[in-house]
Amino acid sequence: MDGLLYERKNGFDGISAKDKSEIFDFCAEYSHAITVAKTEREFSDMSVSLLEKAGFVELSCKNQLKPGDRVYSVNRGKGIVAFVIGGEPIENGCNIVGAHIDSPRLDLKPNPLYEDGGMAYFKTHYYGGIRKYQWLSIPLSLHGVVVKRDGTQITVSIGEDKNDPVFCIADLLPHLAQLQAEKKLSAAFEGEKLNVIVGNIPCEDADKDKLKYGVMKLLNEKYGICEADFITSELELVPAFPAKDLGLDRSMIAAYGQDDRVCAYTALRAVIDAKTPVKTAVCLLVDKEEIGSEGNTGMQSRFFENTLAKVCSLCKETYNDLVLRECLSHSSCLSADVGAAYDSNYAEVYEKNNACYVNGGLLLTKYTGARGKSAASDANAEFMAKICGMFDKAGVLWQCAELGKIDVGGGGTIACYVANLDIEVLDAGVPLQAMHSPYEVAGKFDIYMAYKGYNAFFNN
């Protein structure tokens, strides 16, 4: 009997040449975008320019909103929310796709610069869940802002241009690693040893700390900053290499920061392509997911609620708080975040029947969490059925999985914080291998299915 058993497939299996080239073209644009926007600030800036090109205007420029209007609002340079006002009244709710644009990385400490053993270094403090050894002996670039005490903001980017120098953390040579090799992995690599090489020419202007002085002098020449300005900066080290096609068949993309800019980019493209939808379409890109969605740029902040209140008030001739409350209660959300794709080299941590596969389609995760679904937002069967049915109708290939085997670990997304707002929410994103590494692997078919799925969700 047809359809009696649930079957999985590789999305490229039997694909037409036309569909394949559409997918590859879309992914080439994606690849470029994540190569030029490697931090939350850069991604937020890039989103503004893509949105403005597509006719979106800043929310503060509007004194009323009507169906078809396209507006956006930026949260402190590190997050953004874009709306396409729908045909139905706003209190009927919105369709929200929410992704995060921060990724694991190495931040500079407030007092980063020092010299030791004939070398100048930056001290770093890692951000998010990294496997420390993966960040050794790879080229790193420095991105971020320095804010002077008079308010001047200086944008820093070193290591991306082909003529730029890069930075790196030198790993220990195997010849002298015998003692380290006997340690447990968690003890073998220490956070305080993630010190980045920044220079080695002594500066004769100084009587002491000549290496440190030399580095500071170069930074002063280029950016006009002094050592104390590091204290009022946000500088991040990320892998300096670009996104590349992976595999002889070019069926995948290897790149830094695909968690979660693969979902952020596809969500952004989908909202740009949303034509006067029935319900208001919302693309919500947040910061700080990797450290628990904390802070005023994270999903736990009131930013989204406050911005939505503003939108509600501009949609109505008379507004009271109930409009916002009803809008929230009637809204639906795809929490667009990546999941762990099955990796046969580590088969022991996956449960094959409930794993997802690269190029197996858009990944739906009913619940995340750890142990007995602790800290999970468990999507309602009713909502899941609605979404699966909608994807089927739109020709979106999807798969459903858990993060890994029970009790081997766990994780979360913004879903639980969205759910706290009384919104229906389901995790829907792209499966990745080597998640949180400097070189994450995503399937091109899945990337395109994410775009197609979010698009169907908005235009439904």
Long-range contacts of 58-62 (CB under 8 A, 24+ apart): 59/83, 59/307, 59/310, 59/311, 59/314, 62/314
Strand partners, 84: 70, 281
Of the pair 281, 286, the CB lying nearest Mn ion is at 286
Of the pair 160, 337, the CB lying nearest Mn ion is at 337
3-class state of residue 137 by DSSP: coil
Of the pair 69, 260, the CB lying nearest Mn ion is at 260
Q: Is 6 exposed, middle or buried (0-12, 13-18, 19+ CB in 10 A)?
A: exposed
Q: What is the DSSP string of 406-451?
A: TTS-EE--SHHHHHTTT-EEEEEE-EEESTTSSSEEEEHHHHHHHH
- Give the angle subtended at the CA of 35 by the CAs of 140 and 125, to the nearest 5°: 35
Of the pair 103, 141, the CB lying nearest Mn ion is at 103
Of the pair 47, 233, the CB lying nearest Mn ion is at 47
What distance in Å separates the CA atoms of residue 154 and residue 167, rounded to the nearest whole number? 20
Judge contact between 351 and 404, C-beta under 8 A.
yes
Q: How far is the CB of 428 from Mn ion (least distance, A)?
A: 12
Long-range contacts of 4-8 (CB under 8 A, 24+ apart): 8/357, 8/360, 8/399
Instruction: Give CA 94 to chain center in angstroms.
Output: 22
3-class state of residue 326 by DSSP: helix
What distance in Å separates the CA atoms of residue 23 and residue 234, rounded to the nearest whole number? 36
Of the pair 102, 424, the CB lying nearest Mn ion is at 102
Of the pair 264, 309, the CB lying nearest Mn ion is at 264
Q: How far is the CB of 427 from Mn ion (least distance, A)?
A: 10
Strand partners, 442: 253, 432
Looking only at the bridges linking them, the beta strands covering 94-100 and 280-286 are: parallel
Q: How far is the CB of 289 from Mn ion (least distance, A)?
A: 6
Of the pair 115, 337, the CB lying nearest Mn ion is at 337
Q: How far is the CB of 293 from Mn ion (least distance, A)?
A: 10
- CA 276, 281, 287, 291: dihedral to nearest 10 degrees? -160
Q: How far is the CB of 260 from Mn ion (least distance, A)?
A: 4
Of the pair 128, 242, the CB lying nearest Mn ion is at 128
Q: How far is the CB of 233 from Mn ion (least distance, A)?
A: 24
Judge contact between 328 and 423, C-beta under 8 A.
yes
Q: How far is the CB of 106 from Mn ion (least distance, A)?
A: 15
Q: How far is the CB of 259 from Mn ion (least distance, A)?
A: 4
Alpha-carbon distance values, 314 to 64, 69, 91, 330, 334 (Å): 4, 11, 12, 18, 25
Residue 294 main-chain phi, psi, to 5 deg: -80, 170
Q: How far is the CB of 104 from Mn ion (least distance, A)?
A: 7
Q: How far is the CB of 292 from Mn ion (least distance, A)?
A: 11
Indicate the residue whose CB is closest to Mn ion: 260
Of the pair 230, 265, the CB lying nearest Mn ion is at 265
Q: How far is the CB of 334 from Mn ion (least distance, A)?
A: 13
Looking only at the bridges linking them, the beta strands covering 119-127 and 431-433 are: unpaired
Contact residues for Mn ion (CB under 5 A)?
Answer: 259-260, 337
Of the pair 215, 340, the CB lying nearest Mn ion is at 340
Judge contact between 43 and 52, C-beta under 8 A.
no
Judge contact between 417 and 113, C-beta under 8 A.
no
